[in-house]
Structure 1
Amino acid sequence: MHKKLTGRWLLTMVSLLVAVAGAHAQTARLPNVTILATGGTIAGTGATSTTTVGYTAATVGVQQLIQAVPELAKVANVKGEQVFQIASESMTNEHWLTLGKRVNALLAQNDVDGIVITHGTDTMEETAYFLDLVVKSRKPVVLVGAMRPSTALSADGPINLYNAALVAGSQEAVGKGVLIALNDQIHAARDVTKTNTSTPDSFKTPELGLLGYIQGGKPFFYRASTRKHTADSEFDIANLSALPQVDIVYGYANMNTVALDAFVAAGAKGIIHAGVGDGSLAAKVKPGLVAARKKGTIIVRASRVGQGILARNGEANDDELDFVAADTLSPQKARILLMLALTKTTNTKDIQRMFYTY
C-alpha cells in the first residue's frame, strides 16, 4: 500500500513538474513587446458612453490601457512605459527626438522583440514616418491609436491595441519598417494618412494600398514598401538635440506671400510649398519663393492634392530654380524628410536623391 501511494505521489509530482515546465516554455516562446504610451484618444475619456466627440484625450495611463486588454497576455509578454501624456496635435520635434531615442535604446536590448506606440491619430502618420526614417533596427515598431475614447460604446482602442501587440511580436512584421495598425489593417508609415475626422476606418493608403490585414490572431502581409527605411536609413538622431526649422506654406486661390515671408523672417531653413494641383506656383508667390531660395532657404514643392507623383520640372523649372520635388510625399511628411535631410546637407541635388530614396 505504501509503495502504491509513493508511486502515485511520484507520478503526480512528475505530472505537475511537466505541466509547470510546459507553461514556462509556452510563456518563454511569447515575444517580448514594450508598449510606449504617448496619450491620444486611445487614452481619452468622455462624459458619457455615447461621447465620441468633445472628449478629453490623454487621461488614461499605460498600465490601465494594458489592464483593459487581458488578452494581451496570450500574444506577448507585455511591459508598459509612459513616455508622454499629450493629445497628438501637441506633438513637437522635441517629443519625436525623445521618442526616437527611446525606441532605439529599447530595440537594442535582446529582451525586446518589438514595440507598440499608443498615439493620438491627428499626427500619428507624421510620428510614424519620422520613426521610419530614424529607427535603427529591423524589429517591428507599430503605432496604434483609436478614433473613439476608451469610455465610448464600441471603443476601438482595446482591439486595436491587441492587434498592434500581435503584429509587433510577429516574425512577419520584421523588416517591414514602421507600421500603423488600426481597424484590422496594417499600413506603411510612409504612405498612410488620416482621411476622416471621426470614423474608425479613417486611416487609409489611398493609391499605393495597405500592407495587409490582421485576422484570426495573425497578421497577413500582401506587399511591402520598396523605399528605404529604419535600419537602411542614413539618418541618425543619437546626437541631435533639435531639428532644423521647416515650415509648410499652403497653396490656395488668391494666395499671397504673407505666411512665406513670416516663416523666412523667423529663420526657416526649409519651406514646403503645398501647392495646388501638381505643385503649381502662383504668380504672386513665385518671386517670394525664388527670393527665399537665394537667401539659402531650401524650397520643396509638394501638392495639397494628396495623391500622385509631384513631377520634377513639371509645373516649375526645378533645375533652374534649384527647388526640390516632393515625389509622392504629402506636405506634412515632406517636412519631416527635409528636416532630417538638413541635418546632413544643404545640397539640393543630394536632398532630391533623398526624396526619391525614402
Structure 2
Amino acid sequence: MKPMTLGLRAACAALLAASAFAGLPALAQPAKPTVVIVATGGTIAGAGASALNSATYQAAKVPVDKLIAGVPELASVANVRGEQAFQIASESFTNDKLVALGKRVSALLKDSEVNGVVVTHGTDTLEETAYFLNLVIKSDKPIVVVGSMRPGSAMSADGMLNLYNAVVVAASPSAKGKGVLVTMADDILSGRDAAKRVNIKTSAFGSQWGPLGMVVEGKTFWFRSLAKRHTVNSEFDIDTIDALPDVSIVYGSGSMNMALYDAAATPGVKAIINAGTGNGSVPNYAVDKLKSIRDKGVLVIRSSRVADGIVLRNAEQPDDKYDWVVAHDLNPQKAKILAAVALTKPQTTAELQRIFWEY
C-alpha cells in the first residue's frame, strides 16, 4: 500500500474539518443599525419639468418612502424607515415647526432601537435647523441634516448621494457625540457652523472653520471635532421648550433707514440682531436708535453681514457701556437661533454674552 501523498493528506484534513462543522449553525451576522429618516420637504424632495431644470423646479413633491426607495443602497448600510414630518420648502419653516421637529427627533432618539436620525431639509434654512437641533437635543446619537441643490429629476442630481452619505454617517458609531452634522457634497460639516454660501452650486455649503470630515465610498473619515457646547453638554433641552420668542434681524448697509429698527422692535420682540457691516458696525446715526431700543428692554446683538471672521466685543462700539451683546463668529441667522433658544429662559446681558461665547 503506497503512503498517502501530502496533497491527499491535506485534502482529507479539509474534508474532516468541513464535516466537523457541517452540523453547527452559521455564525450570526452583526445586526445592522436602525436609522430613521425624518423628511421635511425641500429640493431633495423636489421635481423639475425636465432633466435640464436644475435650478427651476418645485420643491417638496416627493414623499419620504419614494426618497428611500430611490436609494436602494441604503439597505446595505442600515435598517432604514421614514417619517414625513412636513412637506414644505424650507423658507417656509417657522419657529413652531422647529420646535415640533425638535421634539420628534428627541423622542426618536430615546428609543433604544434607534441608532441615528437623518433629517431631510430644504437648503435655504437648513443651517438654522441644524444649529437649533445642535442646541436643544439631549442625545449623543448621530443626527444628520441633509439636503440637495438639485431636484432628483435633474441631470447630475446630488440628492441621492447626499442622502446615502447622511445614512452612512447616522449609522456610524464614530459619529456619536460629535453634535448635529450636515452632509453635503461628500463633506461632513458641523451643524453649528455650516452655512449656505452659494445659492446655485452643489458645493453650496461650507464653514469658515472647515469640515469635520468626509464620506468616501461609504466610509467616514474624521479630521477635527467641534469645540463649542452642544447636544448632551447643552444647557437647553427641547423637552422643556414649547415656543421660541421673536427675534428680529436688521441688515446693515450704507445710508440706513431708521424705520427698519422701529419695525424690527415691535411689541413682543425680545432681541434684535444687527447684521452690521464689517465688525458688526453700527453707523453713528443709528447708535442712539439702538440705545433707545435697549433701554426699552429689547436686547441688541451685534453680528456681521460678512460671511467669515468674528465680531469683537468693545471694538467699533463700546458694548459694555451700551449693554449690547456680540455674536462672536455666528452669522446673523444663526445668532437669531441662539438668541431665541437662550431667551426661552430669563437672561441678563452678561449671561447672554457668556452663551454666545460658549455655543
Give the TM-score taking structure 2 as reference length: 0.92
Residue in 1 that maps onto 2:320: 319
Conserved? CA contact 1:120–1:146, under 8 Å: yes
Conserved? CA contact 2:50–2:153, under 8 Å: yes
Residue in 2 that maps onto 1:123: 125
Supply the distance in 2 between the matched residues of 1:40 and 1:15 (Cα, whole angstroms): 53
Cα distance, 1:76–1:15 mapped onto 2, change above 3 Å: farther
* Structure 1 position 284, deviation (Å): 2.1
Residue in 2 that maps onto 1:53: 55
Match of 2:204 among 197, 202, 205: 202
Letter in 2 for 1:288: K
Letter in 2 for 1:165: V
Task: Give the SS at the match of 1:312.
Answer: coil
Deviations 1:25-78 (A, max 9, x none): 43x521110000000000000001111122000000000000000100000010
Supply the distance in 2 between the matched residues of 1:124 and 1:197 (Cα, whole angstroms): 13
Residue in 2 that maps onto 1:294: 295
Conserved? CA contact 1:31–1:76, under 8 Å: yes
Give the TM-score taking structure 1 as reference length: 0.92
Residue in 2 that maps onto 1:32: 34
Match of 2:179 among 163, 177, 180: 177
Conserved? CA contact 1:140–1:173, under 8 Å: yes
Supply the distance in 2 between the matched residues of 1:29 and 1:162 (Cα, whole angstroms): 19
Deviations 1:163-193 (A, max 9, x none): 1000001011100000000111100011111
Alignment of 1:96 with 2:127, yes or no, is: no
Letter in 2 for 1:340: V
Residue in 2 that maps onto 1:192: 194
Cα distance, 1:44–1:285 mapped onto 2, change above 3 Å: same
Task: Give the SS at the match of 1:284.
Answer: helix
Return 5+ residue gaps in structure 2 as ranges.
1-17
Counterparts of 1:1-358 in structure 2, within 5 Å, are: 18=25, 25-26=28-29, 28-206=30-208, 208-358=209-359
Larger Rg: 2
* Structure 1 position 258, deviation (Å): 1.1
* Structure 1 position 266, deviation (Å): 4.0
* Structure 1 position 17, deviation (Å): 8.7
Supply the distance in 2 between the matched residues of 1:273 and 1:17 (Cα, whole angstroms): 70
Supply the distance in 2 between the matched residues of 1:266 and 1:66 (Cα, whole angstroms): 45
Letter in 2 for 1:271: I
Supply the distance in 2 between the matched residues of 1:228 and 1:31 (Cα, whole angstroms): 27
Supply the distance in 2 between the matched residues of 1:150 and 1:140 (Cα, whole angstroms): 25
Supply the distance in 2 between the matched residues of 1:249 and 1:260 (Cα, whole angstroms): 7
Task: Give the SS at the match of 2:84.
Answer: strand
Task: Give the SS at the match of 1:37.
Answer: strand
Conserved? CA contact 1:345–1:351, under 8 Å: no
Task: Give the SS at the match of 1:238.
Answer: helix
